[in-house]
Amino acid sequence: MNSRDPPSKILLLIISCLPHSFPLTNDYLFDMFKSYGDINKILIFERGKTNKAFIEYSNIKHAILARRNMMGKQITPQGGKLLIHFSHLKQLNLEVVDQTRGTSYQQSEVETQLLLNSVSKIKIKNNKENIQCQQVQSSQVDFTNQNQIRVAQDIGESPNKTIMESQLKQLIQILDDDYNNEIEKSQQIQFDQQQQIIHQLLYQKPSKYLIVSNIDIKVTSKMLYNLFNRFGHLENLILNKKQQTAILKFLNSDQATIAKELLNNVLFFNKELRILFHQQQDDLRTLNIDEELYIGSKTKFKIVPISKVLFLQGIKDIIEIQNMVKLVGMIQDIRLEYNQIKITMVDIYEALKVISVFSEYEYKGNKINIFFK
């Protein structure tokens, strides 16, 4: 089940990144979850920056089905990711909260009536008698509630009111505990992921294949080829746009190592590239519609350090070139020197963008030759 708790007919929803302007209501959640079974009650409970809600189904099988299908989904296109757990609560009592928060979708309030009937049977003979009250909580909570009722009798308060206040406090405590556990679980997952990355970095073996991740959605396979082929003889690559990853095949492991050392963690179109050696066993081939195989011109370049200064050879139309380059990156200076144009970008990251877009770009029938200074 991938849940901390055993299955229950009551689900706890933890809704993260929900826009403040979104009008989350019980009826909205009811419409989302009603297809999985009969819903008895829904209670939205906001605590700080995180929205939480309870959904009680009439049958435990319906709750399991709803959790399986809705876990990890978003309740709106703008956000509101769902984390769903089986709740500690045995039943959801709406009598203990503000009426505007909870909604009953039952034909009748059977559970509430049972609670009221049990309260009406309480008879206090004297201060030494034990007070028996049927509750929906554990025996420990029952004992606490009995003591609170005895105190309430001494000071003239209603036993019914005391029980409600006690259950409300317990409800808040459960919410806080679940939220704190979720934070701890999230931190542990992040720690495990970091340890896995460290292990990969320490024990990876050199290879002529690289796997590149964290690729910006705007980057195409041709742009990626133009970039990496500058720092090693790149034969071909496969780009998975959906996963924003790519597998690159170089001529040999030395070429791949140079490209990895020069471009790993470099900012490329607003995202830092993450590069690891990849132990590919056969030639690259596309396996699904999300993958794109790209084979470049196999032009060999002299490997030089990355620089923010670029030279464009064989072109004299400085104004047109300036307008073209401005569409891709920010220029610090541009000038004509002999038979080539010298462009100084504001930083090396802007220069990498220009290299990736305009390498071997055809301008008036001729390919643009771009070099780092």
Using one digit for the tens of pLDDT, what is the confidence trace for 23-36?
Answer: 888 899 999 999 99
What distance in Å separates the CA atoms of residue 115 and residue 166, rounded to the nearest whole number?
14
What is the per-residue pLDDT for 267? 93
What is the per-residue pLDDT for 115? 42
- Lowest-confidence range among 7-11, 40-44, 48-52, 62-66? 48-52
Distances from the Cα of 255 to the Cαs of 125, 224, 300, 303, in angstroms? 90, 16, 11, 10
Instruction: State the residue for tokens 């643009």.
Output: 368
Task: Report the SS3 class of residue 357.
Answer: helix
More confident residue, 360 or 11: 11
Is the pLDDT at 181 greater than 70? The verdict is no
More confident residue, 201 or 369: 369
Is the pLDDT at 48 greater than 60? The verdict is no
What is the per-residue pLDDT for 94? 77
What is the per-residue pLDDT for 363? 83
What is the per-residue pLDDT for 196? 66
- Lowest-confidence range among 128-137, 189-198, 223-232? 128-137
What is the per-residue pLDDT for 356? 93
What distance in Å separates the CA atoms of residue 168 and residue 181, rounded to the nearest whole number?
20
Instruction: State the residue for tokens 């002529």.
Output: 208
pTM for the model stands at 0.49
Mean pLDDT computed over 230-246: 92
What is the per-residue pLDDT for 327? 92
Mean pLDDT of the chain: 78
**pLDDT tens, 97-114?**
655 578 888 754 444 444
- Lowest-confidence range among 37-46, 138-147, 314-323? 138-147
Mean pLDDT computed over 167-196: 63
Distances from the Cα of 147 to the Cαs of 130, 141, 354, in angstroms? 9, 10, 75
Burial of 85 (0-12, 13-18, 19+ CB in 10 A): buried
Task: pLDDT band for 77, please (50, 70, 90 cuts).
Answer: confident
Is the pLDDT at 184 greater than 80? The verdict is no
What is the per-residue pLDDT for 24? 86
Is the pLDDT at 96 greater than 70? The verdict is no
Instruction: Pinpoint the alpha helices (H) of the chain.
Output: 26-33, 60-70, 110-120, 139-155, 159-203, 221-228, 253-263, 318-326, 348-358
**pLDDT tens, 304-360?**
889 999 999 877 789 989 999 999 999 999 999 888 899 999 999 999 999 999 988
Q: In b/e form, how buried is each residue of 124-152, taking b as 16+ CB within 10 angstroms?
A: eeeeeeebebebbbeeeeeebbbebbbeb
Percent of the chain at pLDDT exceeding 90: 35
Percent of the chain at pLDDT exceeding 70: 69
Say how many C-beta atoms besides its own lie within 10 A of residue 79's C-beta: 13
Q: How far is CA 156 from the centre of its chain?
A: 52
More confident residue, 302 or 220: 220
What is the per-residue pLDDT for 151? 45
Mean pLDDT computed over 255-280: 91
More confident residue, 212 or 300: 212
